[in-house]
Amino acid sequence: MKFAIALFSAAHAPSSRRALAFAQAALAGGHEIVRLFFYQDGVHSASDNIVTPQDELDLPAQWRTFVSEHQLDGVVCIAAALRRGVLDQEEAARYQRPAVNLSAPWELSGLGQLHDAVQAADRLICFGGP
């Protein structure tokens, strides 16, 4: 089965842990992940500036490792990211901001990427939300 996964909740929310566990289990079960789409507060999971206390699970680091190791398409919604100050090199330069906090393996893109993923997948699985 092909899955598209959308994460709407903040970096250390329980739904972020559940999303990662689901994604890991899906791949372990022989399924395919068409795309991971980070939207609304989910964009914080891709930020390089998240600092996790030593006694907690570092979910942003685990997401980064997971996406990199499995060479997944990790897309961060550009509108949600800009609104929350999550910027790659290009957007930081465009808006003349001094900090960059989004790097590989993440890619900034629009909601069209979520639409394309839904079209290519058998199921869209969403975690978190308003």
CATH number at residue 52: 3.40.1260.10
What domain range is 16 assigned to? Answer: 2-127
Q: What total number of domains does the chain contain?
A: 1
At 93, which amino acid appears? A
pLDDT digits (tens, 9 = 90+) for 37-90: 999 999 999 999 999 999 999 999 999 999 999 999 999 999 999 999 999 999
126: annotated active-site residue: no
Report the distance separating Cα 130 and Cα 42, nearest Å: 11
Report the distance separating Cα 78 and Cα 61, nearest Å: 20
Segment 109-129 mean pLDDT: 96
Pick the catalytic residue: 6, 72, 77, 121?
Answer: 77
Report the distance separating Cα 38 and Cα 10, nearest Å: 10
